Chains A and B, each alone.
Chain A
Amino acid sequence: MRYLILLSFIVHTLLANEANEIIQKLDKNIRGESVYMQISMNIKSLRHERTIKMQTWAQGKEKSFVKIIYPPRERGITFLSLNKEMWNYIPKIERTIKIPPSMMLQNWMGSDISNDDMLKQSSLVDDYHAKILKKEGAIVTIELKAKEDAPVVWGKIISKIDTTHYTGIEDTFYDEYGEKIRIFSYENVKQFGKYYLPTVWKILPIKKKNNLTTMVLEEVKYDEKISSQYFKKSALKRFSR
């Protein structure tokens, strides 16, 4: 019996380690050392449809900068995330606004993603316990359960990952009560240097059947030197132009 318990413990630890390793590789594929992207985001809802284009610069988990380049009315709006804090600069009113933590889960620019998603503040690696649920060839299904003290909204994420290149296929997000809230699906994997990344991301909120947000990564550049100037508060206004 003692050996059985020990064996079960070892298997559990190995599976957890393997799950963590997969998640780390996936996270590395998304973030790289640093990454620049140009993204087109199409937002559909029951009554409206609009497209936003933006440029993003990110370095590690703590620093990211986003600039809206389309539509013209919103061009120059910038967002900066630094050490779990977020600011927004709006050229029309020439003001920098600090986004309060309570607003991090609000929808970003009318889309189905939140401020937190946009700036990738919460990390799958740091904030969740990973466990392999299923393996089907190269496709691994991993359950990510929020760590007790992690400042995250999702109680659980079920992530389907293609371990060929460690890219996501689908993430299903559950709230703290176990209710399914939204599905991220990823398509059209492309290679960018040593990294692989799906270039079409679709976000489907479960309760809003008519909503769909589609993000197309039009341009991706990994590990290029990004000026440290992008990650200062002054960048919000400076790079808004």
Chain B
Amino acid sequence: MFELAIKNILFYKGRSITTFLLSYISATFFVIYVAFLDGSHISMLQNSLKVYTGSIQIYQKDYRDEGGYDYLIYNNQKIFNILDKTEGIEAYTSRVETFGIVSTQENSSAMMLSGVNFEKEANISELKNALIEGVYNSYDNCLYMGVDLAKKLDLSLNDEVSFVGSAIESSFVADIFKVCGIFRTGMYEFDANSAFLNRNYFDTLFYAQNTSSYIVVKAKDLNKNDALASNIRSHLSENEKLYTWQELMSAMVEAMKVDSIFGYISMALLFFVIFFVILIYGFINISARIKEFGTLKSIGISDRQIDTLLFLEIFIISIFALILAGLSGGYVAYYYELHPIVIEGMSEIYKDYGIISDEIPTSFNLYTIFCNVGLILFLNLLSIVYPIYYVRQYSPIEAMRHV
């Protein structure tokens, strides 16, 4: 039956080439499309994680719901001791965030001021790499300020700004800071509202010793982040709450799921058309071969064997097309994962959507490629069901007389 199927494929060239090309093009396109879709999502997530979020954050219970100084972690060291004993952590650090007014002679703005350990922060986030002017690791009353905040206040390096806010015990805090470094992460809200101060100076000014808004952890292996989170969680008290990056960025993750669903729906419309084209071509071809099936039936070939023959024909065409599509689509996905497409200025245009790079990478994932190709194979096999049913309606005599 296999040999007969091969002969038929070679004999009915028109149908074979059409089915082959449609399967090949749609599968290749699908693999590349999904690779870009997943790649851009992964890139957005990883950028956000790298820039500031980290893979795990630990808070005092209620801080994220209530906010404010009442819900700070007031004993960093206790959590540091737990983290020191935990395997799988690449780095961790604590941050204290406060809000206040930053002001020049002419302009004022609200600002999030974070007290950070610049050296440790360099191992966790991209803040150091985001430096565009001045110095990163500054001391005393030096601010490391977002580029859009500096623009808003019309500030340059070494300019002075005054800051007014509240210390941890709610007393009034005011100081004059010097702008020593300017950063650009590409995340507009972040760059337009944030500045960083070295932790020692911050602690003295705000009475924030051994205190933090949260502790941020970077996992050695992001794929084992959930296991690491469970491990740390088991050592924390009920007053401390741990969030993984998926929880911290749930809105972004959800938005990406929705985006993916819409992406798949658009693709489904295309597949719907391709499916019917393959089905119609297959049906026309098989309708023209009814006499041939009648002859086969009259010499004792059963309906089941004819079904197998038709199934083998489409399977062989599809499998060749899809192996080739998997290889070529996979190659494109792999190539652009290593060498992403660069569109100059894209990050500037789409910075509000979390795009911080001009690169559009793909995601080369064998499992995803296998699933995508498998879906096209399934649709191709499905397209032969009706023609098989149609052929079965004819008795050998009717089939041989069919015109």
A-side interface residues toward B, CB under 8 Å? 43, 45-48, 50, 68, 71, 73-74, 77, 88, 90, 92-93, 95, 97-100, 102-103, 106, 109-110, 207-208, 210
Contacts and interface: CB of A to CB of B under 8 A. Distances in A.
B8 to A, nearest CB: 69
| Nearest 6 Cβ contacts at the A-B interface | A110-B170, A46-B70, A90-B174, A97-B103, A95-B162, A74-B172
Interface residues of B, number: 22
A95 B103 contact: yes
B170 A43 contact: yes
B267 to A, nearest CB: 40
A71 to B, nearest CB: 8
Contact of B69 (A48, A68, A88, A93): A48
B108 A93 contact: no
Nearest to B164: A97
Contacts of B129: none
Nearest to A45: B70
Nearest to B103: A97
Contact of A100 (B70, B109, B162): B109
A98 B103 CA distance: 8
10 contacts: A47-B69, A48-B169, A50-B170, A73-B172, A88-B101, A97-B162, A99-B108, A103-B101, A109-B170, A109-B172
Contacts of B109: 100
B3 interface: no
Interface in B69-88: 69-71, 74
B76 to A, nearest CB: 16
B166 A110 contact: yes
Contacts of A50: 169-171
Contacts of B170: 43, 45, 48, 50, 109-110
Contacts of B101: 88, 97, 99-100, 103
Contacts of B176: 93, 95
Nearest to A47: B70
A98 B108 contact: yes
A233 to B, nearest CB: 13
- Quick one: which of B71, B162, B174 has the most chain A CB within 10 A? B174
B175 interface: yes
B103 A93 contact: no
Nearest to A50: B170
B108 A77 contact: no
Contacts of A210: 70
A90 B171 contact: no
A97 B99 CA distance: 15
B160 to A, nearest CB: 9
Nearest to B70: A46
A119 to B, nearest CB: 15
A198 to B, nearest CB: 25
Contact of A110 (B74, B103, B162, B171): B171
A207 to B, nearest CB: 7
A207 B66 CA distance: 8
B110 interface: yes
A110 B176 CA distance: 20
Nearest to A77: B172
Contacts of B103: 95, 97-98
Nearest to B102: A97
Nearest to A101: B108
A74 B171 contact: yes
Given A50-B169, A90-B164, A110-B166, A95 B70 contact: no
Contacts of B68: 45, 208
A102 B101 CA distance: 10
The interface centre, meaning the residue of A43, A97, A208 with most chain B CB atoms within 10 A of its CB, is: A97
Interface in B245-261: none
A210 B68 CA distance: 12
Given A95-B103, A110-B171, A103 B110 contact: yes
Interface string B53-78: 00000000000001011110010000
Contacts of B74: 47
Contacts of B66: 207-208
A103 B109 CA distance: 8
B36 to A, nearest CB: 39
A73 B70 CA distance: 22
Given A97-B164, A208-B70, 16 more contacts: A45-B70, A47-B70, A48-B169, A50-B170, A73-B171, A90-B162, A90-B164, A90-B172, A95-B162, A95-B176, A97-B101, A100-B101, A100-B108, A109-B170, A110-B170, A208-B66
**Chain B CB within 10 A, most for which of A47, A74, A92, A106:** A47
A72 to B, nearest CB: 11
A41 to B, nearest CB: 12
B164 A88 contact: yes
Nearest to A211: B70
B171 A93 contact: no
Looking at B110, B166, B171, which has the most chain A CB atoms within 10 Å of its CB?
A: B171
A63 to B, nearest CB: 21
Contacts of B164: 88, 90, 97
Contacts of A102: 110
Nearest to A46: B70
A43 to B, nearest CB: 7
B166 to A, nearest CB: 5
A97 B304 CA distance: 88
A210 B172 CA distance: 21
A13 B329 CA distance: 74
A92 B205 CA distance: 13
Nearest to A110: B170
A50 B170 CA distance: 8
A90 B110 CA distance: 17
A157 B342 CA distance: 55
Nearest to B170: A110
Nearest to A111: B170
A108 to B, nearest CB: 10
